[in-house]
Each structure stands twice: as structure tokens, then as C-alpha cells.
Chains A and B, each alone.
Chain A
Amino acid sequence: MLKVFAKPPEGGEPVPYLFHFNTSEAKDEAKAVRDLLSRLLAEMKNSDPNVPTPNLGTPNLQANGNGGSGASGSMAFASAVNKSQQPSLQWFDDSQLKNNYELQQSLMKKDPSLHRTYMEAMAMKPDTITGSAFNTQFWSTRINMLRAHAIETSQKGGQYNVLSTVRAKSDNGELKLNLTVEQIQMLLAQYPLIRRIYNENVPPRSDKDFWVEFFTSRLCTRLRGERVEENANFSPLFDKHDINENTPSHHSKIMAQNVPHIIDIEANEENQGGVRSGNKKDVEMRPSKHVAIVKTVNSVSERIMAHVAPSDPNDEVANEAYKQLGLRDLRGPEEEHRIMLNVKEQNKLFAKRDAAPSSNAQVFAKQNPDDVLFDIQADLATLVEDGIGGLDLAAGIGFNDDSESDEEDNSSAKRPHVGSRSILRVAEKEILHGISQQRAQQYGHASDETTPMGLSRAMADRCSLTHATTVEFLHQFWSAFLSGDPDRAAELQYLAESLAKSIGRINAVAEEATKEREGLIKKRKQDIRDHYERTGKKIRWKSDMVEGGREAVIKLMQPVLDAIDGARSKYADALAAEGIKVSTES
């Protein structure tokens, strides 16, 4: 698109001319025209010093790079949208990086020497440079660091081999082990066998006992792929299971497809013509099949990669694998992969909007802006002079500044109206409440860190553990449920049952919390009794003042419980739709 403004020599409105270049071939023509015009203009400008720089007479040249008319506008729009959606684009925008103070702060926090440099430079800067100018200057030479940091911080860790990170440390002859919630979650996700055992045994057994027993069991050693020693601790809970039970029931995405020919070792072996040749491999080259670690290592890696889209898609048409295979340096220059956008008459695409403008727009369309403006100005001009002394905004909303009376007497009599004190108070309260709630949600109460809702620390930990495991089961449930795979129906049923068990687990925690609370109340009562006996004074105390207990746990767990209910009802619905009754309701 080329837009040329021509200013008639006698003055007056400049007239725009639009030239459309619709095909890619026309791109060159557009460029040629533009170049010619700009050269002529430049010459004119040079020869005529009277021409002020950008004035209306200067043609506004716009030739978009791609030759498609109107494409530039839409592309700018698209990139604007992308900018707000994709952080990745921000990484490449220097000015955004330079102005991102948060990012700069966090980078300096990470790199103390950089921080020192910054502070020194800041102190030594001449006064003529403003803070922000200095800032821009300082970072403009360190854009690469900012970018690296931005990319680094926006990355999230993926799955990893959990068992390899958890090792018991021997401390004064005692084995000590730290497990984080995240690790437990990942253990359950990576090892279906552990998940099953956990699900079947945890309500009677406590979490702690479960994990302690697991990490001392032979099963754990075997899952790590290590050799089990003769005198190793035998755990009846775990060691009756075979590690082969751990192999997933369904295949991952990678396994689901054929391997491309270029890495198909099985086919390579077949390729020898199907005849076994002589010279059996010597001892060194004969693999023994009993090395557990090899299998373990492969299966762990496969499980970690199971949820990632395979690198060699099984698409017959898209020969991605082959594209990769090509010797890139032998290829000619890269072809443009962009799709040429040839929109001929853009208006057609947006015809709908033009066809039915809103009723307001219709009204406005009929009006002449000049007339409307004139009317309004006239109204405003008469406002002061019409004798009332202008508009009283306060009166307009019924706010009575003088009324000292409190709301008690007249609130009932009068219908509360906007602006009355009582309403203002209520509004203020509401707003403050909202803020505090927001704050609480975002940062939590001071006590939440250790003892949320009055639960003791141990109890809180248990809650978070139970929460994590429940979430894991929910995750498993949904992935099976949404897969729509009829083969996984049995698995799904099992998972639905395990959700029911999860409720049981939460209740078990809640019961324990109640017990704990009762203990506390009892102790407190005893204290009061003691105090009374000693001093003869009664302390006013209600047992409600002790927080925690069942309510707290349930409150904490409410979202998860809701999620479980949701999941189970969905499942029941689905079953009903299939005409099967839920037989396994617990």
C-alpha cells in the first residue's frame, strides 16, 4: 500500500491518494515507486531550504514489506496482541527490557557485583543526568544479561528422577531423610506402583510411617535399580510387590507410534537378510539380561518424557524427521516460510460491522459534530447564568454535609440513599474487608506460615501432604477420564475409588486435628482450674477460642473436596450416560 498526499499549490486540504499493490510481484514495483518518490522529495527538500521539515505536503510513505495491502495494519495488530500474550516476545524487545525495573532488581539481587557496580555508578553520575536516563543508559549495555535473566526466570522446572534426589543421610548413626511435598507428588506421579500401595494403605497408616517404611524397603532399592543386599530390611508392605508391576498400563505418546526408519534398530537387524551369521559374539560383547539398572534407567527416562510430544511426529505428510536429516549446509538459501496474505478488498471482510452499526452509532452518524459541539457549548455557557448558581453536585447525590446525626435514628426511617454516612461507612467497611481478604489470599496471615487457622505445625504439614497427594490422584483421574480411552475404563474406576479414599484420608486428618484440639482445650481447662485453685480467680474463657480442629481442616480442604465431588459427579454422570450404575460407591 502506498499513500501519497498531494497538497494543491493554492493551499487547502491535502488530498490522499492510495495505491494498492496486491501481489507479491507488485512488491518490487511498489518499492521502485517509493524509492523514486523519496529520492525526488529528498532532492526537492535539499534544493528548497524553505520547506519546513515534516509538513502536510510531505508524502506519507508507507510501503509494507510484504506487498499485501492492508497487511501491515493487521500485522501490527497481531504483534501487539502477541506482545501482551507471549512473554517470549518481550525478551527480544530491548526497550521493554530496559524499562522493566522488577527484572533489573531481581537480576541485581542475584548478582551482587552487578548491584555494586550499579550503586557506584549511580553515586558517581553527574547531576545533569536524571535517574531514569541513567538507568536506561546503564542497562542499555547490559541488555544481554537482562535477556538471559528474563528467559531464565520465566522457565519452569520439568519432571526429574525423584528417587535419585532422595537419599537418606546418616546422622549420628540415625538415617535422616527430608521429603518435600513436591517430591512426594512426583514420586506418586512417576511410580504407579507406589501410588497404588499408598492409596490402599494410607488411611490406616500415617503418611510418615508409609514413607519411612518405603525408603527402607527392598522395593525402593530395586526401583532405584540397585542390587538388594542379603540382609536388607524386609518390608511386608512393599516387598511383596514386584517392580514389574510398576510398568505403566498404558503406553506413552512416544510408545504409541512407530519409530521413524532412520532410528529403527529393529529394522536394521532385520535388514541383514534374515539369515543369522556366524561368529557368535564374544563374552565381552554378549549383554547379560540381568542388569536391572539398565531397564530402570530407561523406564524412568521414558516416563519422564511420556507427557512430552514426541520429537518425531508420526505424520506421514510432515516429514519433519527428514527435514532434520537433510544436510543443512548443502541446501540453497532458505525459502520464505511466511504465508503471503493477499487480501483484496478488506472492507468485504469487515462488511458485517459496516452493515449493522449500533443504534447509537446510527444516531451519531446522522449528527454533524460541529452542531453537537456548538449545542453543548451553548448549554454550558448558560449554566452559570441561569440563576440557580450552577449545578450542586453534592445535593445531586443527596449528601448532607451538615447532618451530624447518626444513622441510628434516621436510617430506619429514611430509605438509605447514596451519600448518607451510614452508607459510606458500610462501603468503607466493605472495601477494607475486601482489601484484607485480598491480602490474606495473596500473602496469607502472619500466622498462616506456620499454623494456618490455628492448626499446629505438624498438623499443617500433614494437611499439605494430604492435599498434595489428593491433587495427584485428581490429576490422574482427570487425565484418565478425559482421555476418552475405553481401554482405561477399569483404571478409571479404580481411580474413582481412590478419590473416595482420598476423602477418607482428609477425614482422617480432620479427626486427628479434632483430637489435637480437644487435647488443647483439655489442657487449657486444666490450666484454668489450676489457676483458680492457686489464685481463686476465674479466667473467662470459652472453648470456641481455640482454633483448629475439624472445621479448620475441612475449611482448608474445602476446594479440594469440592474438586473431588465435582470429579466424582462427572464420573457418575458419565457412567449414567453409559447406563451403568455406580456400584463402587463407598
Chain B
Amino acid sequence: MKFYIDYMCDLKSTMSEIEKALVELKALMKYRAEQLGYEEDFRGLGLTSRKNLCLHPSVKREKSGAVVDARCRSLTAGFVKEKKDRGENVDVCVYHDNLDLLEPHNLVPNGVWTFDGILRYGEENKQCPYFTMQYCNVVIFSYHYLLDPKIAERVSRDFSKDCIVVFDEAHNIDNVCIEALSTDITNESLHKATRGAQNLERKISEMRDTDQEQLQTEYQKLVQGLRDADEARQEDAFMANPALPEDLLKEAVPGNIRRAEHFVSFLKRFIEYLKTRMKVRQVISETPPSFLSHLREHTFIEKKPLRFCAERLTSLVRTLELTNIEDYQPLQEVATFATLVSTYEKGFLLILEPYESETAEVPNPVLHFTCLDAAIAIRPVFDRFYSVIITSGTISPLEMYPKMLDFPTVVQESYTITLARRSFLPMIVTRGSDQSAMSTSFQVRNEPSVVRNYGDLLTQFAKITPDGMVVFFPSYLYMESIISMWQSMHILDEVWKYKLILVETPDAQETSLALETFRTACCNGRGAVLLCVARGKVSEGIDFDHQYGRTVLCIGVPFQYTESRILKARLEFLRETYRIKENDFLSFDAMRHAAQCLGRVLRGKDDYGIMVLSDRRFLKKKDQLPKWINQAILDSDVNLSTDVAISSAKRFLRTMAQPFKAKDQEGISTWSYKDLLEHQENSRSDNFRIREFVGDQQAFGAPQNVDSDLHEYDDDELDQEMMQMGMP
């Protein structure tokens, strides 16, 4: 067996996932080297933000990622180096400049580099890990870098068309796509954007005094068209552009924004217009065309120059050699918004919410420019690469994804899991010990009896679970309120007896610390419960394998907040464009997050854990769980009350305590080389038989094409039916 990946990028949702994948890849390559007897010419790297990779002694201490980015650029930008070469006294980064001494295609030795590894290597050789990230066989990075047009330029440029793109952990990919193209504009960001525009104006006048020529060249370039500008873009391009249609790049920038001064005043006019729109005190939702016509009526800003805003701003920033980009971030947001709103007529919606909540008195207006169509962001990826794989442990149902992302699948397959023993116990608990129903539906979720029953469930499981236990709540708000209620009911006092309690907080650093404490307590034997949120930071990318999670408790169905206007707009869009019913989508979305939570507890075949879904409403949604979980739910483990669930869990834990050797798994869930050969033999003979069969059919003059035609016909009919049902 020989495999060789020529080029592949594996996309993950979080950095934790990337690091894990790199570690696994490293182990794999080590194994291959052992088996093959030689090291392959192979390089695997991960890619993440500057903040996570910086080695510069003072820059890396900065708390905020944006500041790190800005300071890094100010030390490493191309013109900074030019200045230095001219003999000017400028600060540079040693780590970055050392890279110039190396061969550009061979910055690190072959091998797989984890983040820790590359950081260490960078420190030893005094070279910058962030800029070392390039030519390799496998590169793993967050899929924001491919989907988010604002940062996509950074990496996607280097990839060839035959590169295999794998979106791993892609269960949430549609939301990432949508968020990548959406923008929220607030009064504060507009204010900052104005300031940014004023700064630009000042810089321009400064430059006009000193370096008239440069502005002139820029103007000439713009006349020739953006294409050249695109080519001229250096590696250190700071501001990238949203996904633009091909024709836009070929066109020349319209005359009225070619001059820098004109462009800045054009931007200022646009910002002022937005400010007046923010003064409205009622909720407005409108489509981009309606917004544009209103805009033209009041400010005479045409659609065409608006489309070029983002590109024009990038070009200007480059011409002015600005380094402190974070000052212009809000301005860039506005420019991106302008470009997007004038480029796409469909799939976007503008929603102005003057008040933060229904009850709020003080206005805090937010203009949501929200993308409704996940396909827009991912379409360039499909267009560009031949092979794209979308995969996750918790994608279910599969059909939903091609629909939502609007692409045809070549292969679509769902796999189960083979286990030598029943190593996880999924259960649906619908009632408390007092037999009253448990649910987090909006009407009953704050009723003391429901809260107490959930508390009882938590306490009981805390009592019997060894080591770690993870609890997921449907939302932050509910988690906070239920924890406070549990404290006043003295339920937490009870839990403290058995486990330490840790809670996910809004602060990422604090949560990391809580996680570390959690892990320590689990390893130490003290045991701990981690309370977190189903769509939160912990649910993505953090595993609770082995002792870190023996029970995962999903309190309530993690539905989205249905009163959200953005969600409502998206539901309507999905219904009208892709014929996905509101309830189907909501339920699908909730169940994929529930499955995601459940999946946290099991990693590998020697692991074991209990999965508890506790809500009355899970009964009907059972079938929407991924196949491997759904198949493992026995009929006797559905619709349980707390006490029955506990006794069942106890029984399960007792069987798990029996010795389980690697040998027991052989031939069932792990295959030796011999098993593999046997399987190959079997499948080969199967194939042979199929070919024979097909041959017979053809001999009888019944081509299988007829069959597939029939299917297609059926599908059309079905679609017709669905269309009729979908339209009320």
C-alpha cells in the first residue's frame, strides 16, 4: 500500500482541532517511516493567526490579536524593509528578516510540525513561525481562512486547483459561511470609521505635499484596472477583498473614486448616510436593492462606485504605506459592507434593530447586514478546487448540506462504528424521578419543578460518574439563570459533595483556566463537572475523552432563539430558495449541536461514556441523530425517568469496569494485517460477482441507464410535490 498526498489542505474549525490533527499526522508519518524503512519527502504544517505564533519578544506579549497583527505588519511590511535597505532607521523583526536568508521553498526541514514544534524550531533558529507556513504537502488551518473573504487572500492564493480540500468538523460550516459574509454596523463602529476616514484624508494631504508622484502612479494603475493592482499585491497585503465576481476584477475603477481625495469624501458621505439611517427608532428590514435605491435618492451615490469600495480602500492603504491597520478596521468593515451590498442582490438582508432587547429603553442601534445564503461564501471554493470533501462525526442528516450549500455530491456516505463492546450508552431522559416531564421549552423552563428535576438529574449523575462529567445547556442565558436557581435551592451544595464544579464563562482565558482545572481534577481523581453551552466555545474543538468525560448531559434541546430576526429571515430564505421547512431546519440545527455535544465524550474505541439527552422533545428527534449514535439507542433507553436512567447507567458503568484488552477488539473493531487481506479478498470476489452480474444484464440488452433515468424522473416528481408543500 502506498499513498502520497500531493497537496492537501485540511480545514478545521478551531485551533485545538488543528493541533490534534497535526499530532495525529505526525504519528502517522512516523509509522509510515517505520514501515517503509525511509522518510518520505513530506511536510505538514498548521496555520493560525499571528497572535498564536509570534515570537517577537515584545509583540507576542500583546493581549489582543489585532494589535499583534498591526505591530507585526509595521515590522515586516515590504516597504519597511525597503526603507531599511535605504539606510533609514526603522524597527524590523529579526525573526522575519532571517527568513530572507533561507531558500524560499525550503524554510523548514521536512516533517510534520505541530504548533509547539514550529514555535520551538522558530525560537531555536530565530525564524518566524508565522511566515514559515508555506509550501507543504498537508496544511491544516481554520476554514475561516478559506471562507472569510476578509482574510481568505492570506492562504488560498498558494493553492493549486488539484489540491484536495477537506472540511473537517464541518457540521457547522453553513453558519461559518454566513457569518463570514455578514457585518454588524453600530454607532460606535461608524464613529471610528469616520475617524479613520479623517486620518486617511490627512495622510493623503501629507503625501500630496511630499510624494505627489506615488499618488499619480496609483491613479494610473486604477485606470488600467484592478487586475494589475491585484498582481502588484505583495505578500504583505494587509487588507483583502470580499469574494468578488470575476468580471469585477477585470473592470477599471470608476472615475469618480479614482482620485484618493474623491474616494475619501465619497466614503465619508456614505458613512454619514449610514449614521442618519441609524437614527430610526423602529425595526426595519429591507433588501439590498431597496437600500441602494434609498441611498441613491438621498445621496446620489451610485451602485457602481460602491462596488469598488473595498478594493479601492485596499489600494489606497497600500499606496499610503499605512501600518497601523487596526485604526482602519471599522472603515474597512464599512467598505466591505458597501461592496457586498452593491454586488449581491439576493441572499442578503439588512436588518436595523434600534433596541438591544424588547424591554430596553435606551436605543443601541445595530445594523445587521446579514447573509442568508451559505452557498455564496463556499461557491468560490467549489469553483476553484476539483476535490472538496465535507466531513464530520456529527453531520446528520447528510442531505441537508448539499441543499443548503447548493452543490451536487459525487459521493455521499454515512458510516457507522464497529465496536467490540457497547462502549457508550445513549439515553433519553424525559421525566424526573417524580414522573413530571422535563423540558427546556420556553414556557416551562423556569418552573421550579423543572429546574429541580434537572438539578436532581445532575446530582444523581455526579454521584455515580467517575472522574469527569460535562453538562451542556441550550444557551448562556439559561445556563446562568439555572445555575443561580440551583444555588438558591442548595442543589449545587449537593453536587459539591461529589465533584468540583466549573463553568464556561464569556472570557476565553478564564474558560481555558477552568478547563485546565477541570482536567487536573479529573486526572487527580477528585472529579469535576463542567457546565457549558451547546453552541459555546467549549462545545467546538474541546474533547472530553477518557477520564475527562464519562458522562455528557445535554440539558434541553439546543434550539436557536427563534425570536431572533436574523434567524427568522434566514428561515424564510431557506424555505423560499431551497425549500427547507422552518421546523425541519430548526430541528436539524438543534440536533446537530446536540450530537456535537454528545460526540465530545467518545474518542477512540477503547473509550467509554454515558450520553444523556434530557428533554421531552428529544423523543421525536431521535432519528435526526447521526447514524452511529442513533443505532446505539436501545428502545429500552428511550423515554426514561431519572431513577431508571441512573440504574441503567450504573449497570453500564459496572460492565465497563470489567477488564477490556486490546486483544478483545481484534478482528472486530481493530483489524490486523491479516484481517485486512482477508477483507480485500472478500471484496474482490464480490466485485467480480457484481461485474459478472452487470455483464449478464448488458448481454440481455437491459442497460442500467434506464434505471437511473427512472430515478431522476422520480426525483423530479418528488421535488414538484415538495415545492407544493413548501409553498403555503
B480–A285 touching, CB < 8 Å: no
Interface bits B15-47 vs A (CB < 8 Å: 1, else 0): 110111001100100010000000000000000
CB within 8 Å for A298 and B49 given contacts A282-B564, A286-B477, A288-B480: no
B270 in the interface (beta carbon within 8 A): no
A507 CA / B581 CA spacing, docked (Å)? 79
A297 CA / B49 CA spacing, docked (Å)? 32
Q: Which residues of B contact A275 (CB under 8 A)?
A: 148, 150-151
| Contact partner, B513, options A255, A289, A293, A325, Cβ 8 Å | A255
Interface bits A252-267 vs B (CB < 8 Å: 1, else 0): 0011000101111111
A326–B23 touching, CB < 8 Å: yes
B480–A274 touching, CB < 8 Å: no
B65 in the interface (beta carbon within 8 A): yes
Q: Which residues of B contact A428 (CB under 8 A)?
A: none
A259–B179 touching, CB < 8 Å: no
Q: Which residues of A contact B512 (CB under 8 A)?
A: 259, 263-266
B435 in the interface (beta carbon within 8 A): no
A278–B484 touching, CB < 8 Å: no
Q: Which of B50-69 contact A (CB under 8 A)?
A: 50-52, 65-66, 69
A283–B513 touching, CB < 8 Å: no
CB within 8 Å for A263 and B142 given contacts A287-B506, A298-B502, A311-B522: no
A86 in the interface (beta carbon within 8 A): no
B16–A297 touching, CB < 8 Å: no
B182 in the interface (beta carbon within 8 A): yes
Q: Which of B603-637 contact A (CB under 8 A)?
A: 603-606
A224 in the interface (beta carbon within 8 A): yes
Q: Which residues of A contact B116 (CB under 8 A)?
A: 261, 316, 319
A164 in the interface (beta carbon within 8 A): yes
Q: Which residues of A contact B487 (CB under 8 A)?
A: 224-226, 293
A271 in the interface (beta carbon within 8 A): yes
B275 in the interface (beta carbon within 8 A): no
A261 CA / B53 CA spacing, docked (Å)? 11
Q: Which residues of B contact A286 (CB under 8 A)?
A: 476-477
A277–B477 touching, CB < 8 Å: no
| Contact partner, A305, options B150, B183, B520, Cβ 8 Å | B520
A329 in the interface (beta carbon within 8 A): yes
CB within 8 Å for A270 and B515 given contacts A254-B520, A278-B368, A298-B503: no
A279 CA / B185 CA spacing, docked (Å)? 10
A284 in the interface (beta carbon within 8 A): yes
| Contact partner, B23, options A160, A254, A265, A322, Cβ 8 Å | A322
CB within 8 Å for A294 and B480 given contacts A271-B15, A272-B142: yes
B505–A267 touching, CB < 8 Å: no
Number of interface residues of B (CB under 8 A): 108
A293 CA / B480 CA spacing, docked (Å)? 8
CB within 8 Å for A165 and B493 given contacts A254-B513, A259-B513: yes
Q: Which residues of A contact B474 (CB under 8 A)?
A: 284
Interface-lining segment among B535-543, B645-653, B690-698? B535-543
> Distance in Å from the Cβ of B314 to the closest Cβ of chain A?
14
Choose among A289, A302, A319 the residue with the greatest number of B CB atoms under 10 Å from its CB. Answer: A302
B522–A274 touching, CB < 8 Å: no
> Distance in Å from the Cβ of B145 to the closest Cβ of chain A?
6
B184–A278 touching, CB < 8 Å: yes
| Contact partner, A160, options B182, B497, B517, Cβ 8 Å | B497
Q: Which residues of B contact A287 (CB under 8 A)?
A: 476-477, 480, 505-506
Q: Which residues of B contact A298 (CB under 8 A)?
A: 502-503, 505, 510, 513-514, 517
A51 CA / B537 CA spacing, docked (Å)? 78
A287 CA / B560 CA spacing, docked (Å)? 15
| Contact partner, A311, options B66, B475, B500, B523, Cβ 8 Å | B523
A551 in the interface (beta carbon within 8 A): no
Interface-lining segment among B228-236, B284-292, B299-307, B662-670? B662-670
B182–A278 touching, CB < 8 Å: yes
Q: Which residues of B contact A330 (CB under 8 A)?
A: 604, 670
Choose among A265, A284, A304 the residue with the greatest number of B CB atoms under 10 Å from its CB. Answer: A265
A311 CA / B516 CA spacing, docked (Å)? 8
Q: Which residues of A contact B566 (CB under 8 A)?
A: 279, 282
A267–B514 touching, CB < 8 Å: no
A329–B520 touching, CB < 8 Å: no
A263–B662 touching, CB < 8 Å: no
| Contact partner, A273, options B151, B368, B478, Cβ 8 Å | B151
Interface bits A364-378 vs B (CB < 8 Å: 1, else 0): 000000000000000
Interface bits A211-248 vs B (CB < 8 Å: 1, else 0): 00000000000001111000000000000000000000
B178 in the interface (beta carbon within 8 A): yes
A158 in the interface (beta carbon within 8 A): yes
A167 in the interface (beta carbon within 8 A): yes
> Distance in Å from the Cβ of A159 to the closest Cβ of chain B?
9
A226–B184 touching, CB < 8 Å: no
Choose among A264, A278, A293 the residue with the greatest number of B CB atoms under 10 Å from its CB. Answer: A278
| Contact partner, B16, options A167, A255, A263, A305, Cβ 8 Å | A263
B483–A294 touching, CB < 8 Å: yes
Residue of B nearest to A268 (CB): B14
B496–A165 touching, CB < 8 Å: yes
A273–B52 touching, CB < 8 Å: no
Residue of B nearest to A227 (CB): B484
A267–B48 touching, CB < 8 Å: yes
A166 CA / B225 CA spacing, docked (Å)? 75
A523 in the interface (beta carbon within 8 A): no
Choose among A167, A295, A310, A327 the residue with the greatest number of B CB atoms under 10 Å from its CB. Answer: A327
B192 in the interface (beta carbon within 8 A): no
A266 CA / B564 CA spacing, docked (Å)? 27
CB within 8 Å for A266 and B508 given contacts A165-B493, A275-B150: yes
A39 CA / B71 CA spacing, docked (Å)? 78
A265–B182 touching, CB < 8 Å: no
Choose among B16, B537, B669 the residue with the greatest number of A CB atoms under 10 Å from its CB. Answer: B16
Q: Which of B130-187 contact A (CB under 8 A)?
A: 142, 144-145, 148, 150-151, 154, 178-184
A325–B509 touching, CB < 8 Å: no
Choose among B116, B533, B669 the residue with the greatest number of A CB atoms under 10 Å from its CB. Answer: B116
CB within 8 Å for A273 and B538 given contacts A291-B484, A298-B502: no
Q: Which of A308-334 contact B (CB under 8 A)?
A: 308-312, 316, 319, 322, 324-330, 332-333
Q: Which residues of B contact A167 (CB under 8 A)?
A: 490, 493
A171 in the interface (beta carbon within 8 A): no
A537 in the interface (beta carbon within 8 A): no
B115 in the interface (beta carbon within 8 A): yes
| Contact partner, B27, options A263, A283, A291, A326, Cβ 8 Å | A326
B182–A277 touching, CB < 8 Å: yes
A294–B503 touching, CB < 8 Å: yes
A280 in the interface (beta carbon within 8 A): yes
Q: Which residues of A contact B66 (CB under 8 A)?
A: 274
A439 CA / B280 CA spacing, docked (Å)? 88
> Distance in Å from the Cβ of A12 to the closest Cβ of chain B?
52
A residues at B contact (CB < 8 Å): 158, 160-161, 164-165, 167, 224-227, 254-255, 259, 261-280, 282-289, 291, 293-295, 297-298, 300-302, 304-305, 308-312, 316, 319, 322, 324-330, 332-333
A-B contact pairs, 6 of them (CB 8 A): A226-B488, A262-B543, A274-B69, A278-B368, A284-B478, A329-B605
Nearest 5 Cβ contacts at the A-B interface = A278-B182, A273-B151, A284-B475, A311-B523, A287-B506
Known pairs A275-B150, A278-B368, A286-B476 / 18 extra A-B pairs, C-beta < 8 Å: A164-B496, A259-B513, A262-B542, A265-B515, A267-B52, A269-B537, A270-B65, A271-B48, A274-B51, A275-B148, A278-B183, A284-B474, A287-B480, A297-B503, A298-B505, A298-B513, A301-B521, A305-B520
B residues at A contact (CB < 8 Å): 14-16, 18-20, 23-24, 27, 31, 48-52, 65-66, 69, 114-116, 120, 142, 144-145, 148, 150-151, 154, 178-184, 333, 356-357, 366, 368-371, 474-478, 480, 483-484, 487-488, 490, 492-493, 496-497, 500-503, 505-506, 508-524, 526, 528, 533, 535-538, 540-543, 546, 560-561, 563-564, 566-567, 603-606, 662, 665, 669-670
